Amino acid sequence: MIPADTIDELARRLDTAQTTRTDTPSLADTHEFDVDDAYAIQAALVALREARGERTAGVKLGFTSKAKMAQMGVSDVIVGRLTDAMRVADGDDVDLARFIHPKVEPEVAYRLCRDVDLDDPATDIESCVDAVAPALEIIDSRYRDFRFTYGDVVADNTSASAYAVGPWRPVASVSNRAVRLIAGGTEVTGSTAAILGDPVRALHALLDMCRRRRVPLRAGQVVLAGAATAAVPLPEGVTRCEVAGLGSVSVRGVR
């Protein structure tokens, strides 16, 4: 474990990168740290946001596709935290100047309807969600040229930056649904099967990660289950995610 003052220093470095929209080199270039340290930096980073008045609004999973896991050489998902300041209402403008080099990915979101008891081995995570919706996640790695290690990206709150959720529907299976992402002139198609085979598996993976990393899960929070396609640069103009049988959600990039 690296010392507490180093955790604090690295969290501040990432926080400054985000608040000043200035990228930073990989933390791993100058510091040796393990995954436990990385989650400690993430917690300190989110605490800085909370100290400025932001409130936790949910959690997200990353690396939920086989392709991304293979690219990073890992077999585990990562968990990050969402705050209310990251939320963009469906259809709203999002100022591109908020970001360093934003990308967008189409996702599925779940809504927690009760607090999740992480310490009860019998917890049934599926009974803790009451709604599902199409979602867009805007990721904005704070690292220069997207050059980061697994530990770096965990420390950087899994590149979490902004998100939008479409109309909620009562929870139902969203397995194997066609997904379309239209981002300006770019169109990408995929399937919810890219999310750990079925987005419901993301809920189980989330429970496991939150138990291990002591990330609380509370009623009303949003869960971003993971991306159904590769991320693409967030353009000026409308970006829309359509999930077959579930609906759509959009944001409009503005300068």
Query: Which residues of the shown chain bind Mg ion in the complex (CB under 5 A)?
Result: 137, 227
Taking the C-alpha atoms of residue 161 and residue 159, their distance in angstroms, rounded to an integer, is 6
State which of residues 40, 100, 128, 139 lies at the interface with ligand 0L1 (CB under 6 A).
Answer: 139
Taking the C-alpha atoms of residue 194 and residue 116, their distance in angstroms, rounded to an integer, is 26
* Binding-site size, ligand 0L1 (CB under 6 A): 10
Q: Nearer to ligand 0L1 by C-beta: 15 or 170?
A: 15
In the bound complex, what is the minimum distance in angstroms from residue 164's beta carbon to Mg ion? 12
User: Should residue 153 be labelled a site residue for ligand 0L1 when binding is judged by CB under 6 A?
Assistant: yes
In the bound complex, what is the minimum distance in angstroms from residue 229's beta carbon to Mg ion? 11
In the bound complex, what is the minimum distance in angstroms from residue 9's beta carbon to ligand 0L1? 22
In the bound complex, what is the minimum distance in angstroms from residue 160's beta carbon to ligand 0L1? 7
Where do we find the tokens 């397995």? Answer: 175
Where do we find the tokens 């980073």? Answer: 45
Tell me which stretch binds ligand 0L1 (CB under 6 A): 13-21, 60-68, 85-93, 241-249: 60-68
In the bound complex, what is the minimum distance in angstroms from residue 208's beta carbon to Mg ion? 18
Number of C-beta neighbours around residue 92 at 10 A = 12
Q: Is the dihedral of CA 21, 162, 51, 203 positive or negative?
A: negative
User: Should residue 158 be labelled a site residue for ligand 0L1 when binding is judged by CB under 6 A?
Assistant: yes
Q: What is the helix (H) or strand (E) element at residue 248, kind and residue range?
A: strand 247-254
Where do we find the tokens 């959720």? Answer: 165
Residue nearest to Mg ion (CB): 137
Q: Angle at Cα 188 formed by Cα 76 and Cα 61, nearest 5°?
A: 25
Q: Are 46 and 82 in contact (CB under 8 A)?
A: no
User: Should residue 159 be labelled a site residue for ligand 0L1 when binding is judged by CB under 6 A?
Assistant: yes
Q: Nearer to ligand 0L1 by C-beta: 82 or 246?
A: 82
Taking the C-alpha atoms of residue 210 and residue 208, their distance in angstroms, rounded to an integer, is 6
Q: Which residues bind ligand 0L1 (CB under 6 A)?
A: 60, 62-63, 137, 139, 141, 153, 158-159, 227
